[in-house]
Amino acid sequence: MLSKKVILTGSFGVGKTSLFERFINNKFEDKYLTTIGVKVGKKLVNTPNGDLSMMIWDIAGEVAQNKVPTSYFLGTSGIIYVFDVSRPSTYGNIAQDLAYLKSINKLTTIKIVGNKKDLATEAELKALQEEIPLPVDLFTSAKTGENVEKLFLDFATEMVG
């Protein structure tokens, strides 16, 4: 069976752990718990092109991505860069962060995800899409579960395809 490593990264407090928990365990916790280091989970995903074992690494949030140990990114097939749609400070450096991530792993697929969709209106999300210098792949809500399965299933299908 094919196995791929996926990293969840982005600033602290954007909901990486909540996305991780919603996808792996179908749970959501309102209480904020800071991730220290890295948390790893695994889930078998059925795609149209075959099954995939996704090894998902939820790494501690940093304002600057270059403070995350580069060893975390070794062997990574995909990166999900998460920001909080309600906090501009979490996407202010998105272009620099992604340039850095691409410099340390050129072959990795990167998805940009705006989390906490439940805190914004559709009009605000549309305006945000135009404000951010790079296209947002998906808006999710770990709290409601909206688009969380879609995010990981689409990503798995792309990695297997």
Strand partners of residue 3: 53
Q: Which residue has the higher pLDDT, 101 or 147?
A: 147
| Whole-number pLDDT of residue 34 | 76
| Whole-number pLDDT of residue 64 | 61
Domain total of the chain: 1
Q: What is the CATH number of the domain that holds 44?
A: 3.40.50.300
| Whole-number pLDDT of residue 15 | 96
| Whole-number pLDDT of residue 40 | 95
pLDDT tens digits for 28-81?
988 877 777 789 999 999 999 899 999 999 998 775 666 778 888 889 999 999
- CA distances 138 to 46, 70, 71, 147, 157, Å, are 20, 26, 27, 8, 15
Distance CA 131, CA 91 (A): 10
Of 28-42, 81-95, 115-129, 140-154, which gets the smallest average pLDDT? 28-42
Enclosing domain of residue 41: 2-160
